[in-house]
Structure 1
Amino acid sequence: MHEPYGVVAGILPWNYPLVNVALKVAPALAAGNAIVVKPSVETPLSAAAFVRLCQEAGFPPGIVNLVLGSGSSAGTALVAHPDVKKISFTGSTAAGQAIQKLAADRMKAVNLELGGKNAIIVFADADLERAAEAVIFSAFVNAGQLCVSCSRLLVEGPVAGEFEAILKDKLSRVKVGNPEDSDTLIGPMITRSQYELALKYLAGAPGEGCKVLSGGGKLALPAPLDRGFWIEPSLLSGVRPGMKVADEEIFGPVLSIIRFEGESEAAALSNAVEYGLSGSVWTRDSERALRMVKALDTGLIWVNCMFTGYPQIPLAPHKMSGTGVELGTEGLLAYCKRKSAVLGYDTQAPVGWNVK
């Protein structure tokens, strides 16, 4: 049987703050728990509004709760609190490791959905126009600040040059600007530190041997957007494993393009990073697609689609991308304790041996 933990904690990242608070609260309550939500210090207002709406909707007092503060203070206190029996965290791998270590000392259960360096794999037989649209949307929506976005493009050699040209053309027509405008795809970076980190990767890319096909630096926009942290959507070609832009999570509007020859190399390149969160495969060959799904060491794989999601499909991170399960029936049961019961109805059955 499955029983609620009692009180659980949901510690949230700054990207997609409203979506992420809903993804924590809904399964926690459905499983019978109360939850304490701690949003990022960068985006606390969405979670605060969500909790207020829960109260206005008639949720009993103490069921959906809000704590504000930094991860090092409020987050640590939540993880360490004896009444909090389960922690669900979405955020950086470094923060997730710290939470897991602190929880382990108290034998607490954790769900960790962490970083990714995800790859979208395009074979020569793919619909290149549709694949290019998927690549651009995946890599650049929300300025690349999305854990399941694909910041690596693995493209098969025979079509690599053609595909890069298609990407460059489509990217030139993408709008960077005010996220409140319905035709905007790429907004600003969330903070100055994230902005400077992404620019640091871009500045170092040519020195590693990359070629900047598009973008590559700061972007100036007119007032009133001139104070934002804007970066040009950037395409880097000639990327090879071992380069920082190939292996490390940038979390910005930067796409690293790596060429491959054949299925085996594509799978090896995709699996070469320490993360295993998501990925995408584009091919007209359904048998090849299935072989690739089996070969990739990642928790969620889209085939000839991108970001198509259903709440009943579980997301189970691999490797340094986390532990546990979000979404689906398994994601709901992650907020429950397991219990087994053995009922004895036969009053004549032996209860042991060598006992009189």
Structure 2
Amino acid sequence: MSAFSENLSRAETYLQRFREHPTTHFIAGNWTAPDTSRTFDNLTPVDNTVLGQVAIATAEDVDHACESAHVAFSEWRNVSGAERQKILHRIADLLVQRADEIALVESMDCGQPLRFMRQAAVRGAANFRFFADRAVEAANGQALYQPEHTNLTLRSPIGPVAVITPWNTPFMLSTWKIAPALAAGCTIVHKPAEFSPLSAAILADVAHEAGLPDGVWNMINGFGEEAGKRLTEHPAIKAVAFVGESVTGSHIMAQGAATLKRMHFELGGKNPVIVFDDADFDRALDAVTFMIYSLNGQRCTSSSRLLVQSGIRERFLSALRQRVTNLTVGHPLDPATEVGPLIHPSHFDKVMSYMDIARKEGACIAVGGQKYQADHVSNDGNYVTPTLFTEADNTMRVAREEIFGPVLTAISFDTEEQAVNMANDSDYGLAAYVWTNDQARSLRMARQIETGMLWINSENNRNLPSPFGGIKMSGIGRDGGDYSFDFYMETKNVCMAHGTHKIPRIGE
């Protein structure tokens, strides 16, 4: 049996539970009874066949989940950091045990190649371990001494939190949000994206098996217009952590305004990668190719705008064209696959619409530009040929709008000043990448580029203690280390007098 066939067989075994029984909501430590009158088909991007039925949460379901989180919060907030640490480590252990299941289910559910999903459970477990070890000290603040007063800061969990995650890498992004919330002492209501809900069910299973008290972790399925809206409006929810589109983020902000919820948004991006003439050519080429075509281009930090200096433009684009042409498109469970199908037919249509937009705007489609068709993939799947637009400029829609697919727009520049201006001429500011061997230029770019995150001579390398997030239309707030606790916890200042200062007297 080939590795591909073996992967398919194991995936089918893991998917059987989802085929046989509707995926329902997990509330107060229990899976809810399925209501078959309120379900939707969950499609696999491979061929758009049905993986199973998924329950659609009503407003009453959402209320039940929020109230469950509210009740459980009074207990969970008082669980010691050391005990929370033990439970989160047990979650991490169980994720590693179920790594094969998570990878195969996730690949079939969202179309990401298995080669990138194999480490998903391990990295998710690392997220839980990282924040588990910080749970012990999460409440600690600072001691600020003055001659006649000492100020102490204390941190406490903010309360029940809504965690709303996207469809592109749902498992990983869920762990990034949920692990620090639980470590801080918050309870959660998790709403996964309707296009890829299955790994959220596995996560809920794991949390329950690890001994998390009932009601601390709740999960609802459904659509943003009903379930998502009620969740972000519910008065028991004190904060919303959302990853998704910028337009949706603005809707959530409006929905939470009446109850003054704290918001953390990781939103869209049109991230530039700037390659200067003096860059390490081969390393830059590897990184440019990887950071847009891996994960099917469905990555918020994808470098979807290539700004290449004119001195190496022709050489770099020629080499890039060859690399894009050589990319292996195929079934996500095939070990050889580098680019899989897009998440859903509606998203496939959106990505394909930019091919006509590019032609109308005068860009050249140097590679791709059409649906991918071959004998080894289903014609009913959401496959796009990896695409490269050249001869573009920064005013074109293909250079300004987030396409969120395996599509790269290349633009040339002459001077450093031009590169900075092009990079900053965007509504977004999530991530940016610079390739140069000039150290002074690196420092100048670090100061001048308007972005939440900048990688110099590197692809996206995630460091858990470091801040992760964007500016402008790309988001509000930061994940990572204590930055996460700043969001999930309230800070209280306690001022203690030494008994020596003079108190003003009035009314004598």
TM over 0.5: yes
Structure-to-structure mapping, 1:191-210, within 5 angstroms: 191-210=344-363
Q: Give the counterpart letter for 1:50 in structure 2.
A: L
Cα distance, 1:236 vs. partner? 0.6
- Distance (whole Å) between structure 1 residues aligned to residue 503 and residue 227 of structure 2: 51
In structure 1, the gaps of 5 or more residues are none
Q: Which runs of 4+ in 1 moved over 6 A?
A: none
Deviates more, 1:115-124 or 1:330-339: 330-339
Which structure is larger by alpha-carbon Rg, 1 or 2?
2
Match of 1:170 among 323, 326, 329: 323
Structure-to-structure mapping, 1:275-286, within 5 angstroms: 275-286=428-439
Q: Give the counterpart letter for 1:228 in structure 2.
A: G
Cα distance, 1:351 vs. partner? 4.0
- Distance (whole Å) between structure 2 residues aligned to residue 175 and residue 202 of structure 1: 20
Say if 2:167 is the partner of 1:14. yes
- Distance (whole Å) between structure 1 residues aligned to residue 341 and residue 505 of structure 2: 72
2:480 corresponds in structure 1 to 327
Say if 2:468 is the partner of 1:315. yes
Change (3 A) 1:127 1:349: closer
Structure-to-structure mapping, 1:175-186, within 5 angstroms: 175-186=328-339
SS in 1 for 2:458: coil
Q: Give the counterpart letter for 2:506 in structure 1.
A: N
Structure-to-structure mapping, 1:127-142, within 5 angstroms: 127-142=280-295
Match of 2:206 among 44, 53, 65: 53
1:354 corresponds in structure 2 to 506
Match of 2:239 among 86, 90, 94: 86
- Distance (whole Å) between structure 1 residues aligned to residue 401 and residue 377 of structure 2: 33
Match of 1:218 among 361, 365, 371: 371
- Distance (whole Å) between structure 1 residues aligned to residue 333 and residue 178 of structure 2: 26
Say if 2:151 is the partner of 1:4. no
2:275 corresponds in structure 1 to 122
Structure-to-structure mapping, 1:18-33, within 5 angstroms: 18-33=171-186
- Distance (whole Å) between structure 1 residues aligned to residue 213 and residue 493 of structure 2: 30
Q: Give the counterpart letter for 2:455 in structure 1.
A: W
Encode CA deviations 1:190-225: one digit per residue, 9 max, x unaligned: 111111111111112121010111111111132553
Match of 2:188 among 7, 15, 35: 35
Cα distance, 1:226 vs. partner? 2.6
Aligned residues: 355
Deviates more, 1:225-234 or 1:272-281: 225-234
- Distance (whole Å) between structure 1 residues aligned to residue 179 and residue 334 of structure 2: 29
Q: State whether residues 390 and 410 of structure 2, in contact with CA within 8 Å, keep that contact through their aligned partners in structure 1.
A: yes
Deviates more, 1:200-209 or 1:157-166: 200-209
Say if 2:373 is the partner of 1:237. no
Q: Give the counterpart letter for 2:235 in structure 1.
A: P
Say if 2:340 is the partner of 1:187. yes
- Taking only aligned residues, the RMSD between alpha carbons, in angstroms, comes to 1.3
Query: What TM-score, normalized by structure 1, do the two folds share?
Result: 0.97
Say if 2:384 is the partner of 1:249. no
- Distance (whole Å) between structure 1 residues aligned to residue 327 and residue 481 of structure 2: 34
SS in 2 for 1:120: strand
- Distance (whole Å) between structure 1 residues aligned to residue 213 and residue 497 of structure 2: 39
Say if 2:413 is the partner of 1:260. yes
Deviates more, 1:75-84 or 1:111-120: 75-84
Q: Give the counterpart letter for 1:206 in structure 2.
A: R
Q: Give the counterpart letter for 2:452 in structure 1.
A: G
- Distance (whole Å) between structure 1 residues aligned to residue 377 and residue 364 of structure 2: 33
Encode CA deviations 1:142-175: one digit per residue, 9 max, x unaligned: 2111111011000000110110001011122211
Encode CA deviations 1:271-296: one digit per residue, 9 max, x unaligned: 10100000100011111111111111
In structure 2, the gaps of 5 or more residues are 1-153
- Distance (whole Å) between structure 2 residues aligned to residue 183 and residue 37 of structure 1: 34
Q: How high is the sequence identity, in percent, across the aligned residues?
A: 37
Q: State whether residues 123 and 156 of structure 1, in contact with CA within 8 Å, keep that contact through their aligned partners in structure 2.
A: yes
Deviates more, 1:179-188 or 1:82-91: 179-188
